[in-house]
Amino acid sequence: MEQEVQTSRKELIKKIAVIFLVVLLVLTFFSNTIMNYSLPEVATEPVTSGTVSNKVRGQGTVETNSDYEVTVSGTRVIKEVKVQAGDTVEKGQVLFTFEEAENTELNDAEDALEQMELDYAKSLLTSGPDYTSDNNNIKDAKEDLEAAIKAQEKAKGNDKKLKTAKSQEEKLKTQVSSQQKTVNELQEKVEEYGEVGDYESAQAKVESISNELALLRVQLTELRQQDDGSDPEITQSIHNKELEINIRESDLKAAQKEAENLKKIGGDYTKLKTDLKAANKKLTELQEALTKKSEEVTELSGVMSLADAKADVKMKQKALTDLLLALKTRKKEDSLSQQSASLDMQAAEKKIEEQRELVKKLKSGSDLKEIKSKEAGVVSQVDFKVGDSVTADTPLAKIQLADSGYVAKITVTKEQAKLIKTDDEATIENVWDNDLKATVKSIKADPENPNQNMIVTFEVKGNVNVGQNLAFSVGERSNRYDAVVPNNAVKEDSKGKFVLVVTVKGTPLGNRYKVKRADVEVLASDDTSSGVSGGVYEYDNVVTNSSKPLEEGDQVRLKE
């Protein structure tokens, strides 16, 4: 019975374990499925190799190829403005009317005529020439030039002396530095020898030990004479005396060696002190020579330099030359004055007559009430309104001439401009008219941003209107690239342009997909694709769309 209970328990435990494993597997599967559905869903496209056509696109407004400015003579007050920007006008059409007012230009012309007539009358009273002041100025200029030349000659000698003195000063500085180093080294050695000891004291010590040793030997001889072998104390004294003699003999050898060393050192020490004294003397001499040379350099540097002296001579030469030329010119003019008097009078009379004609013309036009267009065209700009006062030759308006043809302009980058050349034919993408043609007329730097942008001007032929907006496409050229991606796969942030590449990792529960950033450089683009280079290669899968914003390393699920 007990065995049956145990068997039943084992079966129950097996069943519970199986149920537990099944539940665990089910939960694991569903948790993985739930997690997958919570991940961002992405659409991908493979990276391919192929060609990309470069196109430059832009929009421009149609305008006429040339225009003219509407101006008026004299000062006027506008009574009525009969046109506005955008109006089409015909030749002879009235553009502005004016108030009746005083013509200030006529008054100015009359005043100028009166002054010219007065100046002409005064010129008839001019007296003969007087050159006294000119000659005095020339005399002073010559004296100044002579003084400047002497100063230059002196400065030339000083400049040569200064160069030599500076060279000698630098040489002396080097010698002083070197000699100072020698003195310092000798001084250190002298100080080292001074600490070794005195030879006389060492020699006295040798003599003292020698005398003491001689006495000990005499005492040893006396003891040996007394020793007959019967007295142990004498025998011991002899032994002690021999030991003492041995010790003192060793001391004597050491003292003799020390004395010999000190004798040798003493000779070197004496020589070192002699050398040090000589080195100090030479150092003092060099320092005194350097001081004198530095004073000489300072003194020579304080005088006028050769460059300044040359400049002063040049300036004085010019001043004298100008005075001489001025006098020569004046004398020449004065010598011809009698011959040219009639010519001058004729010229003055001619100018006066021309001024009279101008006054007459202004008087005839002083009753101007309106101004008309000289050509047919479109008014592009009106700069004044009723009641404004305008002066002579001030543009009142601009009229684009209809007969001059039409142009349109777009702004492109310098890189885009490299894809275009003059006379390239452009496609107009927003007008379906086969007769409408556009050609690149010019490519120039953008005045507002010349370092980055260019202005492309198209010549437009066909049925267009001033102010019409046209979309241009130009510069199509195909190149092959190793990596081509959809345009919507290319992203950009503060670090530059990049794509998100999908990576796959196999697991027991299926594949897991993550995204990684690959920085790229866009080499070319068309309507759909871009040729790129960087961290992306053919057959990589790049993200083109995502249900949520993505970051580096995010886990994603692929769109089914």
pLDDT of residue 67: 75
Distance CA 213, CA 249 (A): 7
Which pLDDT tens digit goes with each residue over 411-431?
A: 988 877 888 888 888 888 788
Quick one: pLDDT band at residue 341, thresholds 50, 70, 90?
low
Read off the CATH number of the domain in which 293 is found.
Answer: 1.10.287
Read off the CATH number of the domain in which 57 is found.
Answer: 2.40.30.170
Distance CA 314, CA 326 (A): 18
Report the chain's mean pLDDT, rounded to a whole number: 80
Which pLDDT tens digit goes with each residue over 205-252?
A: 888 888 988 888 888 888 888 877 788 888 888 888 889 889 988 888
pLDDT of residue 144: 83
8 A C-beta contact, residue 512 and residue 36: no
8 A C-beta contact, residue 348 and residue 116: yes
Residue 21 has pLDDT above 80, yes or no: no
| Within-domain flag for 114 | no
Distance CA 537, CA 518 (A): 10
Q: What is the mean pLDDT of residues 289-303?
A: 83
Quick one: pLDDT band at residue 138, thresholds 50, 70, 90?
confident
Tokens at 60, concatenated: 């421009």
| Within-domain flag for 313 | no
CA-based diameter of the chain, in Å? Answer: 174
Question: Do residue 410 and residue 498 come from a single domain?
Answer: yes
Question: Do residue 447 and residue 389 come from a single domain?
Answer: no
Q: Which of 188, 44, 169, 130 is nearest to 502 (CA)?
A: 44
pLDDT of residue 78: 83
337 vs 401, more confident? 401
Question: Do residue 410 and residue 540 come from a single domain?
Answer: yes
Quick one: pLDDT band at residue 515, thresholds 50, 70, 90?
very high
Within 8 A by CB and 6+ apart from 47, the residues are 483, 484, 485, 536, 537, 538, 539, 540, 541, 542
- In the chain, the number of structural domains is 4
Which pLDDT tens digit goes with each residue over 458-478?
A: 988 888 887 888 888 887 667
Distance CA 325, CA 328 (A): 5
Question: Do residue 237 and residue 281 come from a single domain?
Answer: yes
Dihedral sign for Cα 72, 76, 79, 85, please.
positive
8 A C-beta contact, residue 227 and residue 238: yes
Quick one: pLDDT band at residue 435, thresholds 50, 70, 90?
confident
A 10 A CB-CB count for 375 gives 17
Question: Do residue 554 and residue 428 come from a single domain?
Answer: yes
Final residue before a domain boundary, out of 272, 303, 334: 303
Distance CA 46, CA 541 (A): 4
| Within-domain flag for 133 | no
Residue 258 has pLDDT above 90, yes or no: no
Name the 3-class secondary structure at 61: strand
Quick one: pLDDT band at residue 340, thresholds 50, 70, 90?
low
pTM of the model: 0.36
| Within-domain flag for 319 | no
Quick one: pLDDT band at residue 156, thresholds 50, 70, 90?
confident
Question: Do residue 371 and residue 437 come from a single domain?
Answer: no
pLDDT of residue 472: 86
- Domain extent, residue 223, equals 168-303
Q: Which of 186, 200, 192 is nearest to 274 (CA)?
A: 186
Residue 127 has pLDDT above 60, yes or no: no
Question: Do residue 390 and residue 468 come from a single domain?
Answer: no
Read off the CATH number of the domain in which 79 is found.
Answer: 2.40.50.100
Question: Do residue 177 and residue 241 come from a single domain?
Answer: yes
Question: Phi and psi of 124, rounded to 5°?
Answer: -70, -15
Say if residue 483 is exposed, middle or buried (CB neighbours under 10 Å; 0-12, 13-18, 19+). Answer: buried
Question: Do residue 279 and residue 175 come from a single domain?
Answer: yes
| Within-domain flag for 431 | yes
| Within-domain flag for 510 | yes
Distance CA 159, CA 151 (A): 12
| Within-domain flag for 375 | yes
pLDDT of residue 3: 62
Residue 542 has pLDDT above 90, yes or no: yes
Question: Do residue 417 and residue 537 come from a single domain?
Answer: yes
90 vs 118, more confident? 90
Final residue before a domain boundary, out of 303, 319, 347: 303
Distance CA 294, CA 289 (A): 9
Which pLDDT tens digit goes with each residue over 49-62?
A: 988 877 788 889 88
Distance CA 51, CA 477 (A): 10
pLDDT of residue 493: 92
| Within-domain flag for 189 | yes
8 A C-beta contact, residue 174 and residue 309: no
Percent of the chain with pLDDT over 70: 83
Strands, DSSP E only, in 414-447?
Answer: 425-428, 437-445
Q: What is the mean pLDDT of residues 338-342?
A: 61
Question: Do residue 424 and residue 496 come from a single domain?
Answer: yes
Distances 489 to 84, 115, 400, 533, 537 between C-alpha atoms, Å:
49, 79, 46, 14, 14
Question: Do residue 429 and residue 291 come from a single domain?
Answer: no
Amino acid identity for residue 11 in this structure: E
